[in-house]
Amino acid sequence: MQFPFPREANITTLVFFRSFGHSIHSHSLPTILSMLHRITHSSSPSLLLLPRLLSHQPFPSSNFKFPFPLSPKRLTLNLIPMASSHSLHNHINRLASEQSPYLLQHAHNPVDWYPWGEEAFAEARRRDVPIFLSIGYSTCHWCHVMEVESFEDAAVAKLLNDWFVSIKVDREERPDVDKVYMTYVQALYGGGGWPLSVFLSPDLKPLMGGTYFPPDDKYGRPGFKTILRKVKQAWDSKRDMLIKSGAFAIEQLSEAMSASADTDKLPDEVPAEALRLCSEQLSGSYDPKFGGFGSAPKFPRPVEINLMLYHSKKLEETGKLDGANGSQKMVLFSLQCMAKGGIHDHIGGGFHRYSVDECWHVPHFEKMLYDQGQLANVYLDAFSITKDNFYSYISRGILDYLKRDMIGPEGEIFSAEDADSAETEGAARKKEGAFYIWERKEVQDILGEHAALFEEHYYIKQSGNCDLSEMSDPHNEFKEKNVLIERKEPSELASKYGMSVETYQEILGECRRKLFEARSRRPKPHLDDKVIVSWNGLAVSSFARSSKILKGEAEGSKFYFPVVGTEPKEYLKIAEKAAFFIRKHLYDVETRRLYHSFRRSPSKAPGFLDDYAFLISGLLDLYEFGGGISWLLWAIELQETQDALFLDKAGGGYFNNTGEDSSVLLRVKEDHDGAEPSGNSVAAINLIRLASMVSGSKAENYKRNAEHLLAVFEKRLKDMAMAVPLMCCAADMLRVPSRKQVVVVGGRTSEEFENMLAAAHALYDPNRTVIHIDPSNKEEMEFWEVNNNNVSLMAKNNYDVNKVVALVCQNFTCSPPLTDPSSLEALLSKKPSSLFT
């Protein structure tokens, strides 16, 4: 068999890579893995020795088979109460005073946990012992497993307390700390995931590490207790070597992960070639049977969809229709398969994290905000292209799920819902997916006369339906359980049951509503009610964009539960409330700095690059899709702060953190567009968008910073384009000679204004900027007079109190004023070359 880590590194025991915890997607590794040879063949031979210190045997031969399954069993978990019920626990540690839901889950472990901070570091120095660092997050299934197996075990706790200072970190609260030690584990061992388990010196240099460890020795591999003993022995007998190795590794990683550009901008040929190469590589990994790019486990990686749609648009504009249609078909089929699969929550809306099989059927059941925001946007894009309500329905389902279940009293949007929950109230154990799966009899009892129709539509069986792939349920844990999946077209089944498609859909919607009500009486999965700025930025974008794009749905369109038919303009209000919350609670007006997260109060962690970049992107969408000028002003203000805190003015690009926290050993220029886009990719697009709105030296500065940023990643764009799909789009956007500008002039409160703005956004075009201005608004006019006088002149010259006027501009040429939304949409549908002919 092929191992998921390099055999030449002679690593046997530190990392169980395959799906234990949340593994890092393979596309994130190339830059880091380039360090593997340098580190393991360096002048520091102890780095090769480190893994052997923990090994029971040499690396197995190539015909070795893992004695544990490649798709590990879903473990049934003891319930882990939150820290509020102190009287139920025998132990309490320092985590009880923290805000993070993940840290609070560990507040009653017998392990003497510390949060990340000077108190823990000082204690390690005082006792002269290594640090055990455990990193995870509250909805991580395998983090829960390791807690139940090891951190709640008194014998393990005694070893940790006697020999180490133990620190717990929520990776969502401190992504900067996570990045340092995940990068180390990836570089040395070829992969990584959560829970992340790393041993550090008192000065925080990594000594050795891995991910999930079972508690006891099995299969010739050491368990966690054995590893603790081995690390203790190594610390006592080989301390100098360990410390030297850790320092060397950090030095090498720092050099590799903070590259500088040799030139101020990319060579002219790179953007088009990177875009072509990325599309070609993704097309080569396309699954024509089940959709998606790559094999199981399948992640809905929206940045790949972004790239394929962008490239399709470019091919269409240059008359290469076969290529454009081919790329588009891959995307649309993938989106359809995802929406019909079990990764989509048909009863409540929204998407689960990923599918364990190739057919998008059986998911890992947690729901993450960053997925919802990005997926809502790609389904909106698909609707913009096709005008097929199938895609708008899915997008509405995501947004309505967030609106119903994930928004706090002040409009803040929460982070995640867990995969695990109890099957019944008061049950002592949790099971993955318990909240979402169904037995056939249960469905029959709830739905009565319509049960047969519903069962056929969602492939429900008495024996359970997790049988579509060998990977769906290899250990028969979902026996007699059903994960809803659509395998037949509604029109086909409606005909079979002798009814119209509309009647059929109404019955399905009513059935879903009944099951939703029944499901609501089950114990709910844990809600991580932490508010993360970056993820809220992604959601703000999708809510804002939906407010205009969904106005393109045909008049009289019908929607069925769980979609509730929200008026599109209501989504804009949700976006604005979320942005208001961040400005009120997570932004210091005096310093103009963001905090990273909020739960009851702002976290100690400052805002990181992703927080600024994703929020700026969301604010630009909030403005362009109808929000007030204040959102654009704040976006510009945040961009100034981002440049001051993160920009490498000499070398180009943005670091992931400010460098002000001495306990964070790496400043990294991230480029990988994975489950979330990279901060640098989003920042590049933000700069391009801002440069198209303002004029003069400000616009030139934005463009110059974008050019320099992209030059930093020239090698990546040329050699590993598939790892940076959104950055490929950014590079091409910068190459476009002149972005299309739509300027809408009129009274903001009128219905005509709303309709004209909707027409401006009706068609998919990522190289379009929409500016709207109400000449009667003094603040708006003053802003444009200072930042782009051409816009203010257009507003003055075309203002009519009784009309809303739109102008389309490109290459220093503007169309005649348009007063009809349909005329604007028709003009925007023309190819760039014929826009004004």
pLDDT digits (tens, 9 = 90+) for 780-827: 999 999 999 999 999 999 999 899 999 999 988 999 999 999 999 999
Tell which residue, 333, 366, 302, 355, has the closest CA to residue 725.
302
Whether the predicted pLDDT of 22 surpasses 80: no
Query: Rounded to two decimals, what is the model's pTM?
Result: 0.91
154-171 average pLDDT score: 97
pLDDT at site 192: 87
pLDDT at site 578: 98
Which ranges in 597-713 belong to alpha helices (H)?
A: 609-624, 629-646, 679-691, 696-712
Q: pLDDT-derived band of residue 219, with 50, 70 and 90 as boundaries? A: confident
pLDDT at site 71: 40
pLDDT at site 63: 28
Q: What is the mean pLDDT of the chain?
A: 89
Torsions phi, psi for 561 (to 5 deg): -50, 140
Cα–Cα distance, 624 to 773 (Å, whole number): 10
Whether the predicted pLDDT of 356 surpasses 70: yes
Whether the predicted pLDDT of 1 surpasses 90: no
pLDDT at site 256: 85
C-alpha 617 chain-centroid distance: 14
SS3 413: strand
pLDDT at site 190: 80
| DSSP per-residue letters across 241-308 | HHHHHHHHHHHHHHHHTS---SSSS--TTHHHHHHHHHHHHHHHTB-TTT-SBS-SSB---HHHHHHH
Tell which residue, 446, 288, 443, 436, has the closest CA to residue 361.
436
Cα–Cα distance, 626 to 629 (Å, whole number): 9
520-534 average pLDDT score: 97
pLDDT digits (tens, 9 = 90+) for 102-143: 999 999 999 999 999 999 999 999 999 999 999 999 999 899
- What token pair was written down for 61? 């031969």
10 Å CB burial of residue 79 (0-12, 13-18, 19+) is middle
Which ranges in 341-464 belong to alpha helices (H)?
A: 369-386, 389-405, 440-447, 451-457
pLDDT at site 220: 77
| DSSP per-residue letters across 141-192 | HHHHHHIIIIIT-HHHHHHHHHH-EEEEEETTT-HHHHHHHHHHHHHHHS--
Whether the predicted pLDDT of 87 surpasses 70: no
pLDDT at site 259: 83
pLDDT digits (tens, 9 = 90+) for 365-395: 999 999 999 999 999 999 999 999 999 999 9
Residue percentage of the chain with pLDDT more than 90: 84
pLDDT digits (tens, 9 = 90+) for 430-450: 999 999 999 999 999 999 999
- What token pair was written down for 245? 């190795």
Which is higher by pLDDT, 258 or 633?
Answer: 633
Whether the predicted pLDDT of 529 surpasses 70: yes
- What token pair was written down for 153? 């075990």
pLDDT at site 835: 66
SS3 601: strand
- What token pair was written down for 467? 């049988």
Tell which residue, 359, 366, 562, has the closest CA to residue 465.
359
pLDDT digits (tens, 9 = 90+) for 710-742: 999 999 999 999 999 999 999 999 999 889 999
Tell which residue, 117, 94, 676, 686, has the closest CA to residue 415.
676
Cα–Cα distance, 402 to 399 (Å, whole number): 5
Which is higher by pLDDT, 1 or 428?
Answer: 428
Cα–Cα distance, 667 to 653 (Å, whole number): 12
Q: pLDDT-derived band of residue 747, with 50, 70 and 90 as boundaries? A: very high
pLDDT at site 7: 24
Cα–Cα distance, 744 to 800 (Å, whole number): 12
